[in-house]
Amino acid sequence: MMKTHSDSLPIVTFSFVTFVSDFLQLTKFRLAVSVVFSSVASYLLAVDQIEISILLGLFFGGFAMVGASNAFNQWIEKDKDALMDRTKNRPLPAGRMNTLIALVIASLLTLLGIFILNNINFKTALFGALSIFIYTCVYTPLKSVTPLSVFVGAFPGAIPFMLGWVAATGSFGVEPGILFMVQFFWQFPHFWAIGWMMDDDYKKAGFKMLPTGNPDRATAFQIVFYTLWMIIISITPYTHYSGALTLSMGAVGCLVLIGVYFLYHALKLMQKKSKEAARRLMYASIAYISLLQIIYVLDKWI
């Protein structure tokens, strides 16, 4: 924010409220909290007794890591964000925040996140750092090159749902592997639905987000295909080939119900091929992954 004296010399003034608002936008606060929720859910799946220190470490360390990834992403894509209606009012393209400040914030959050997660155990910090690296250094630049960027981005996006298990046990095995796979496959219908909705906007910035490059029947078919695989993987803990991660028949029934709801909206998109159908699918995907995590946790603890 700038003010001037009567002699027109500029004076830079600082607004704390504006800075906090811009910080929350830079780190995508609501998205970061939802991602951290998945880490907390997987921690609750892995333990029989909750350790508050680990839970708080996962929350704050996880938020720092996700916030850092988002901040680095916006720092790199500042000029492209200015081309899109959806992102042009973010702090960097709108000119409310200096690029150096954004880089400092992203770097400090990275260091803070690694420090906090390493206090839990080394593997938790390693996976957290790996997610930042892939998201920032591989996924972000690939968005302008190939639709395979969504495949690459699904890896860091799936890490949080297994991170809590690793934090609780200090090891990676079949249980966190299944949690990883659930969220990995979920991301394809979720992000392709967003890509379908925002296709015109993404093309302004040169982003290649849809698998065929266009919102067409082939893209919709792939959305349905990945949705089916996600539903199948989500109920594999019932087979008892999933180590300590198990599900009751009641939980499986609930998962099938919400899976059918998700699949219904995927099929509607293939039928209608409209932005409104994509929007409904996007909301269905958010409801699905949230309910799935709640069902998993309640089935463990009740």
Could you tell me the CATH number of the domain that includes residue 109?
A: 1.10.357.140
Q: Are residues 154 and 209 in the same domain?
A: no
b vs e for 50-85, b when ≥16 Cβ sit within 10 Å of the residue's Cβ? eeeebbebbbebbbbbbbbbbbbbbbbbbebbbbbe
Q: Are residues 187 and 100 in the same domain?
A: no
Contacts of residue 230, defined as CB under 8 A and 6 or more positions apart, other chains included, come to 182, 185, 186, 189, 259, 262
Q: Are residues 162 and 186 in the same domain?
A: no
At 264 the pLDDT is 98
Instruction: Answer yes or no: is 27 within a domain.
Output: yes
Angle between helices 160-169 and 29-46 (to 10 degrees): 40
Average pLDDT over residues 150-173: 95
Domain end marker among 150, 172, 194: 172
Q: In whole angstroms, what is the distance from residue 302 CA to residue 294 CA? A: 11
User: Which tens digit of pLDDT belongs to each residue from 179-196?
Assistant: 999 999 999 999 999 999
Instruction: Answer yes or no: is 10 within a domain.
Output: no
Q: Are residues 151 and 273 in the same domain?
A: no
For residue 5, pLDDT over 90 is answered with: no
At 10 the pLDDT is 46
Q: 2 — phi, psi (to 5°)?
A: -120, 140
Number of structural domains found in the chain = 2
Instruction: Answer yes or no: is 8 within a domain.
Output: no
Q: In whole angstroms, what is the distance from residue 222 CA to residue 59 CA? A: 34
Instruction: Answer yes or no: is 140 within a domain.
Output: yes
Q: Are residues 243 and 292 in the same domain?
A: yes
Q: Are residues 132 and 228 in the same domain?
A: no
Instruction: Answer yes or no: is 9 within a domain.
Output: no
For residue 58, pLDDT over 50 is answered with: yes
Q: Are residues 162 and 295 in the same domain?
A: no
Domain end marker among 172, 189, 206: 172
Structural domain harbouring 121: 16-172
Instruction: Answer yes or no: is 3 within a domain.
Output: no
Q: Look over the chain and give the mean of its residue pLDDT values, rounded to a whole number.
A: 93
User: Which tens digit of pLDDT belongs to each residue from 88-97?
Assistant: 999 999 999 9
At 13 the pLDDT is 56
For residue 3, pLDDT over 70 is answered with: no
Q: Are residues 143 and 271 in the same domain?
A: no
Q: Are residues 112 and 37 in the same domain?
A: yes
For residue 243, pLDDT over 60 is answered with: yes
Contacts of residue 203, defined as CB under 8 A and 6 or more positions apart, other chains included, come to none
User: Which tens digit of pLDDT belongs to each residue from 253-291?
Assistant: 999 999 999 999 999 999 999 999 999 999 999 999 999
User: Which tens digit of pLDDT belongs to each residue from 231-242?
Assistant: 999 999 999 889
pLDDT band per the 50, 70, 90 thresholds, residue 138: very high
Q: In whole angstroms, what is the distance from residue 301 CA to residue 46 CA? A: 11
Q: Are residues 289 and 276 in the same domain?
A: yes
Q: In whole angstroms, what is the distance from residue 184 CA to residue 241 CA? A: 19
Q: Are residues 167 and 190 in the same domain?
A: no
At 11 the pLDDT is 47
For residue 1, pLDDT over 50 is answered with: no
SS3 of the chain? CEEECCCCCEEECCCHHHHHHHHHHHCCHHHHHHHHHHHHHHHHHHCCCCCHHHHHHHHHHHHHHHHHHHHHHHHHCHHHHCCCCCCCCCCCCCCCCCHHHHHHHHHHHHHHHHHHHHHHCHHHHHHHHHHHHHHHHHHHHHCCCCCCHHHHHHHHHHCHHHHHHHHHHCCCCHHHHHHHHHHHHHHHHHHHHHHHHCHHHHHHHCCCCCCCCCCCHHHHHHHHHHHHHHHHHHCHHHHCCCCCCCCCHHHHHHHHHHHHHHHHHHHHHHHHCCHHHHHHHHHHHHHHHHHHHHHHHHHHHC
Average pLDDT over residues 134-149: 95
